[in-house]
Chain A
Amino acid sequence: MDLNYSPSELAFQAEVRGFLADNLPRDISDAVRHGDEVGKEMSERWHAILSAKGWLAATWPVEFGGPGWTPVEKHIFEEECCRAYAPRIVPFGLNMLGPVLQKFGTKEQQDSILPRILSGEDWWCQGYSEPGAGSDLASLKTRAVRDGDHWVINGQKTWTTLGQHANKIFCLCRTNPEAKQQEGISFILVDLDTPGIEMRPIRLIEGGHEVNEVFFTDVRVPYGNLVGEVDKGWTIAKYLLSHERTGIAGVGFSMQSLEEVKALARKVRRNGRPLAEDPLFAARIARAEIDLEAMKITNLRMLFKAQEQGAPGPETSILKIKGTVIHQELKDIARRALGPMAAPFPGHVTEGNIMFGPSDTEMNAAKYFNNRKTSIFGGSNEIQRNILTKAALDL
C-alpha cells in the first residue's frame, strides 16, 4: 500500500499547477473565489484556454481529442483546478453528450458534433427532467413523433441548467407510448433555434438564475438527430448517469471550502479573539476536516478500483452522498462564521461602501442555500441510497 502519488503523478501535478498559475486569467479566478456568477463569456474563455492545451475534454479518449488521462490523473487535474479557483467545466457537452456520442453516435454525428464541443462553438444543455419526471425519470412525457424525415416534439423540460447560454439541447423523448416506460424513450438532439421552443428562467432560492423551463410546441428536427436506436434512449440515459463521473465526491471543492473556512475563522474576530479560538466553532471545522480527510481516501480507493477493474461500481453512490453532505456542511460553517454579517441580500452589501465581514464573503449565505441543490440533483441522495440498498447490500 502506498498513499502517495507516484513520481510520474507528482510530475503531472506539478505540470498542471504550473499551467494553471500561468494561464488561468485572474479575473476568472477572482469571480470564482468571490462566488460571482461565472457567466458565458468567462466559461467560454476558460474552455478555450484548456482546449488549446488539449486538456478540456478530460474524460475523452485520445482518438476524440481527449488527453488520455488515467482516473488518478483526472482526479489530480480536478483537484488542482479547485485549488486555483478555476471555474467548473460546464459538463453537458463535455462530460455528458461527448461520451454518449462516442459510444452510441454514428461516425457522422461524432465527426460533426464532437469538434464543435471542443471548440466551444456549441453550448449544450440537458433536457432530462420534466415537471412530473424527476427521480422517476422514466415516466417522462415529452413526445416525439416521426413525420417523414423529421421528429415533431411536444412537451416540457425543466431544471435546464444554464440553458440560457445554450444553443443546443439533448432530450429524452417518448417515442413509443404503448411500450413499457423504459422501452419507449429516445435520445434526440435539438437545436434551440428551432421554431416552437420557448425558454423561461426559473429563479432559485438565493435569487440567482441558473435553471430554466423549456417548452416545445410542434418542434420539427431532422430525423437524423436521433442518437442510437429508436426507443432505446433509456440505455443511453442510464449510461450517461452511471458513466464514470469524475469528481462526483467534489473533494476538490470541499478542500477549497475547507481552506476558506479556516482562513475565515482566523480573520473573523469575536469579542477580542479570532473565531478559530472558539472551541465550539473550531470543533465544527475539525469534524468537517476529519470527514473530508477520510473522503479523500475513500475517493482515491474508488478511483483506484475503477482503474484496476475498468469501471466504477455502485460505491460511487457513497461518494455522492457523503461528498455532498461534507460540502454542504462546509458551506454552512462559512455562512455561520459571519453571524449577522451574513444577513444582507447579495447585491446590497457594498451599498454605502461599508464592509460586511472579510472580503470575498458576501455571498456566503447565498452559496449555502444554493448548495442545497447538490443533494437533490444528479440522482438525489435518497435515490443513491436506494441504489446502494440493492447493489451493495442486496436488501
Chain B
Amino acid sequence: MDFNLTQDRRMMADSLTRYLADQYPVTHRMKIAYTLPCHDAAKWGELAELGVLGALVPESAGGFGGAGADLAVVFEALGRVLCPEPMLGAAMAARLLIAAGAECDALIAGTTRYAVALGEPESPWDLTDITCTATAKGGAHVLSGRKGAVYGGQAADTVLVAAKLDGRLALFAVNTSDARTVAYPMMDGGGAAEVLLDDTPAILLMADANAAIMDATNAGIVALCAEAVGAMEVTLATTVDYLKTRKQFGVAIGKFQVLQHRAVDMLTEIEQARSITIKAAAELGGPLADRSCAMAKHLIGRAGRMIAEEAVQMHGGIAMTWEYPISHYAKRLVMLDAQLGDTDYHLSRVMAAYAA
C-alpha cells in the first residue's frame, strides 16, 4: 500500500500549482470567470505547454498520463484556485476520442478546444431518454435537438455530442460554428452554452457509444470530485485563518468551542471527500468505476454544500460579499453538484444495486 503520489505526478502537481499561483491568481480569475467567453486563450496555451492537457491523455495516445490519479492531480490544483478554464471538456473528450480511435494531438497541443454535450434539459444526467437525434444524409449525418449546460461550450471549437442513431446512443463531432450556441457565464464562474442543433452536420465517431460515454462521464466525475476537494481545502484553510484573526467580544472567534467543533466537522468531511475521490480515481476505467464514481459524486455533493454553508456562516457577513473569495468558493462547491449528476441522482444509482 502506498498513498504517495508517483514522482511524475508530484512534479505535475507542483509545477501546475506554481503556475496557477503566479499566472491565475484570484484577481485574474475574477476578470475571466464571469465575462464571456470565460476563457483566456493565452493562458490556455501556456497550460498546454506546461503539459496539463497531456496529463489527461495516456502515452498510447500521445500524452503522458490519462489515469484517474492524473486527472485528480490536475483538477485538485485547478480547484484550489477556482480556475474557470474549460478543462472538464478536455478531460472527457480525451477519453471519447481515444475510444473512437481518433487523434488527440490537437487536444494535447491546446489548439482544438473540446466540449462534451451529453445531457438535455429533461434528461440532464440519465441519457436513456435523450431526444437529440441523428439522421443519415448523403453519406454523412445531421443532428437535431437541444443540448443543455454544455460546460466549456462557449469557448469550444468542437463539441462531442451524444445523440440517438437508430435507437442507439451514438457519438458525433460537431463544429461549434455549424451549430447555434447560446453562451453564458455561470453562477459560480466559468462558461457554458446551450447547443441548439437543427439538421446540423456532424461526423459520426461511434455508432454504439454507451460504454465510452459512461467511461468519459466517470472521468468527468473524478475530475469534478478532485476539483471540489481542492476548493474545499482552501475554503477550510481560509475559514480557519479567519477564526484565528477575527475578534469579537475581545477574543478570536476561533476560541468559541462551537465554532471549533464545526471547523473540525468540516475537516472530517474533507478527509472523507478526499478518500472517496482517491477511490474513484483508482477504479476509473475498471469494473468498479460506475459504483465508485456514483459514491464519490454523491458524497462530494453532500460535503460540498456543507463546507460551503458552514464556511459562509462561520465568517459572518464578510463571506456574503462578492469581494471576499470564499463567496466564490462556496458558489462553486454548491453548483458543482448539478454537473454530471447530483447527490440524489448518484444516491439512487448506489441504491439501485441493492435490489439486483
Residues of A within 8 A of B (CB): 129, 132, 134-136, 139, 158-159, 202-207, 269-272, 278, 280-281, 284, 332, 335-336, 338-346, 348-349, 351-352, 354, 356-357, 365-366, 368-369, 372-373, 375-377, 380-382, 385
Could you tell me if A344 and B187 are in contact, using CB atoms closer than 8 angstroms?
yes
Could you tell me if B148 and A332 are in contact, using CB atoms closer than 8 angstroms?
no
**A365 (CB) vs chain B CBs: closest residue:** B187
Question: Which residues of B have CB within 8 Å of A377?
Answer: 317
Question: Which residues of B have CB within 8 Å of A271?
Answer: 122-123, 126, 128-129
Could you tell me if A366 and B187 are in contact, using CB atoms closer than 8 angstroms?
yes
User: Quick one: which of B182, B305, B322 contacts A351, CB cutoff 8 A?
Assistant: B182
Question: Which residues of A have CB within 8 Å of B259?
Answer: 382
A132, A335, A372, A385: most-surrounded residue (chain B CB, <10 A): A372
Q: Cα distance A375–B305 when bound, in Å?
A: 16
Could you tell me if A369 and B330 are in contact, using CB atoms closer than 8 angstroms?
yes
B:245-266 near A, CB below 8 Å:
247-250, 256, 258-259
Q: How far is the CB of A288 from chain B (nearest CB, A)?
A: 14
Question: Which residues of A have CB within 8 Å of B258?
Answer: 382, 385
Could you tell me if B312 and A372 are in contact, using CB atoms closer than 8 angstroms?
yes
User: Known interface pairs A205-B331, A271-B129, A341-B148. Does A332 touch B305 (Cβ–Cβ under 8 Å)?
Assistant: yes
User: Quick one: which of A204, A270, A369 contacts B124, CB cutoff 8 A?
Assistant: A270
Residues of B within 8 A of A (CB): 34, 119, 121-126, 128-129, 148-149, 180, 182-187, 192, 194, 196, 247-250, 256, 258-259, 305, 309, 312-313, 316-317, 319-323, 327, 330-331, 334-335, 337-339, 342, 344, 347-348
User: Known interface pairs A139-B248, A336-B342. Does A204 touch B121 (Cβ–Cβ under 8 Å)?
Assistant: no
Could you tell me if A345 and B305 are in contact, using CB atoms closer than 8 angstroms?
no
A129, A332, A369: most-surrounded residue (chain B CB, <10 A): A369
User: Quick one: which of B184, B247, B312 contacts A344, CB cutoff 8 A?
Assistant: B184
**A279 (CB) vs chain B CBs: closest residue:** B348
Q: Cα distance A376–B315 when bound, in Å?
A: 9
Q: Cα distance A165–B186 when bound, in Å?
A: 29
Q: Cα distance A204–B330 when bound, in Å?
A: 13
Q: Cα distance A132–B121 when bound, in Å?
A: 46
Q: Cα distance A202–B319 when bound, in Å?
A: 12
Could you tell me if A281 and B344 are in contact, using CB atoms closer than 8 angstroms?
yes
User: Quick one: which of B129, B183, B249 contacts A135, CB cutoff 8 A?
Assistant: B249
**A206 (CB) vs chain B CBs: closest residue:** B187
Could you tell me if B148 and A340 are in contact, using CB atoms closer than 8 angstroms?
yes
Question: Which residues of A have CB within 8 Å of B196?
Answer: 354
Could you tell me if A134 and B316 are in contact, using CB atoms closer than 8 angstroms?
yes
Could you tell me if A203 and B321 are in contact, using CB atoms closer than 8 angstroms?
yes
User: Quick one: which of B194, B256, B331, B339 contacts A354, CB cutoff 8 A?
Assistant: B194
Could you tell me if A354 and B187 are in contact, using CB atoms closer than 8 angstroms?
no
Q: How far is the CB of A79 from chain B (nearest CB, A)?
A: 28
Could you tell me if B320 and A345 are in contact, using CB atoms closer than 8 angstroms?
no
Besides A139-B248, A342-B335, 20 new A-B residue pairs in contact (Cβ under 8 A), listed by A number: A202-B322, A203-B322, A204-B320, A205-B320, A270-B124, A278-B348, A332-B305, A338-B338, A339-B125, A341-B124, A341-B148, A341-B149, A343-B186, A343-B335, A344-B187, A345-B185, A352-B194, A372-B309, A376-B317, A382-B313
Could you tell me if B339 and A376 are in contact, using CB atoms closer than 8 angstroms?
no
Q: How far is the CB of B243 from chain A (nearest CB, A)?
A: 12
Could you tell me if B323 and A343 are in contact, using CB atoms closer than 8 angstroms?
no
User: Known interface pairs A136-B248, A332-B305, A340-B149. Does A357 touch B320 (Cβ–Cβ under 8 Å)?
Assistant: no
Q: How far is the CB of B188 from chain A (nearest CB, A)?
A: 8
Q: Cα distance A377–B342 when bound, in Å?
A: 30
Q: How far is the CB of B86 from chain A (nearest CB, A)?
A: 14
Question: Which residues of B have CB within 8 Å of A352?
Answer: 180, 182, 194
Question: Which residues of A have CB within 8 Å of B330?
Answer: 205, 369, 372
Q: How far is the CB of B65 from chain A (nearest CB, A)?
A: 28
Question: Which residues of A have CB within 8 Å of B327?
Answer: 204-205, 369
